[in-house]
Amino acid sequence: MVTRRQVIGTSLTLAASAAVAGPATPSRKRLKQSVSRWCYEKIPLDQLCAFAAKIGLDGIDLLEPKDYDVPRRHGLRCTMGYAADVMQIPNGLNRTENHAAIEAQYRVGIPQAAKAGVPNVIAFSGNRKGMSDEQGAENTIAGLNRVKKIAEDNNVTICLELLNSKVDHKDYMADHTAWGARVMEAVGSPHVKLLYDAYHMQIMEGDLIDTVRQNIRWIGHVHTGGVPGRHDLDDTQEVNWGTFARALADTGFDGYLAHEFVPRGDPLPALARAVKTCAA
């Protein structure tokens, strides 16, 4: 007959053994996570990379070419790079007069990204400035068709970012998933995808999970950010980020989920909590 004291003693022995052995080997992650550099710009990049590696992140998002090699010193990679600085959020692919300059920079920047093991480079539609969405889509398709072979030849994906035009980026054209999906379908390249920013799309259209499920074939990269305010992924926000992450993983998504929020308090613990929340 086992006594209460024996049960307690056995439990303590097992707990001590587990403490010595360390945590159990985690199950295989279904989502690869990274973090956007600009949200932690006050922290030296090497320090951010060291912490990112410690908490199980796979990379650092939105780096300039000069910083591509820093994450590799910590066993990480740059998960999204800037390869054409002539292209800015308000001034992008929806203007045909920008296409030659964008192509020229991509011819240098995309091979540079490939050499550094950077899988994705960012792209923007630009603002409307009175242009119709129809004309802007045609121009963006033409611009992407002009550069897609550069991406294909270098095994790098150009990711066109969806942003909100309601709060943060007034007049931005690629502000709805349907517009972006139409452009992706017309371009028809596995190396041209959408950067689905869930923060921005929650503001513009909501219905995140079903939208992702319906459009996953066009999505190459995903950003997070608490709504409202682009702050921590906690219970003050209107999105259930754990549920969203699990739904994204369920689609078989093999890109990166990159955290792009500005912490309200101590930034590194906030990042660690976000990674745990989205560990699908």
pLDDT 10s digits, 34-54: 999 999 999 999 999 999 999
Whole-prediction pTM value? 0.89
Whole-number pLDDT of residue 90: 97
What span, in angstroms and rounded, lies between the C-alpha atoms of 248 and 233? 16
Q: What percent of the chain has pLDDT over 70?
A: 90
Neighbours of 137 (CB within 10 A): 20
What span, in angstroms and rounded, lies between the C-alpha atoms of 60 and 34? 5
- Which CATH number is 36-277 given? 3.20.20.150
Between 151 and 14, the higher pLDDT residue: 151
Residue ranges of domains in the chain? 36-277
Whole-number pLDDT of residue 24: 34
